[in-house]
Amino acid sequence: MRCREPVLSQNPTCLAVSPSTKSGARLGYENDHQYLFVVSEVVSETSSKQNIVIWEIRDVPNMTQTNAIILRFREEEAGNFEALFKKEVLPLWRQFKARGKIIAASLTPVQDGNRGRKGVRDYILHVEVPGMAEHSEFDSNASFLKFLPRAQAMQPEEPLVWLGNTLFQV
């Protein structure tokens, strides 16, 4: 859809932005509607002193949150951690997945990389959830809170933790 004037509505298709905004830029989202405005192309330019450019934007429905965590365990504790995780966290993942509160989740023992240390077993924990509400719900689950201190006691250092809204996915 082409537009000549910015349309500022609950679900706009056009928006006025600065001329320095590049194609592909993320302009924001509304949590309650879970869509993201992405600049796709220049449609027209104005000649006003403000030099505003009108861009076409598109909706990206159901933006999700991706969580990536690197867990480190003492080598002698790795088997205990895996058994504890299988018994206590895996069933929670399955419950949350069945309720649509987890999209995907995996625990992967690291086999190669550039940060390995002797005597330490690393794991990649990857979880994709619909949003922060589901993330918080999992993190505050009583069963998970019971598991967490036992797993932390096996770790020689704090895990590396990253989370963010998913930008691209196939």
| 162 vs 25, more confident | 162
Cα 24 to Cα 10, 38, 41, 65, 143: the distances in Å are 21, 6, 8, 19, 41
How are strands ordered across the β-sheet holding 35-45?
14-17, 53-58, 35-45, 26-30
Percent of the chain at pLDDT above 70?
64
For residues 11 and 33, the answer to whether their CB atoms sit within 8 Å is: yes
pTM recorded for the entire structure: 0.64
Q: Is the pLDDT of residue 85 over 80?
A: yes
- Give me Rg for the CA atoms of the chain: 22
In this predicted structure, which of 21-25, 129-133, 150-154 has the lowest mean pLDDT?
21-25
Task: Please give the pLDDT value at position 116.
Answer: 72
DSSP-derived secondary structure letter, 66: E
Residues 107-146 have pLDDT tens digits of: 999 988 777 788 899 999 999 999 999 999 999 999 999 9
Q: Is the pLDDT of residue 35 over 80?
A: no
Those residues whose C-beta lies under 8 Å from the C-beta of residue 86, and which sit 6 or more positions away, are none
Closest CA to 58 of 27, 97, 22: 27
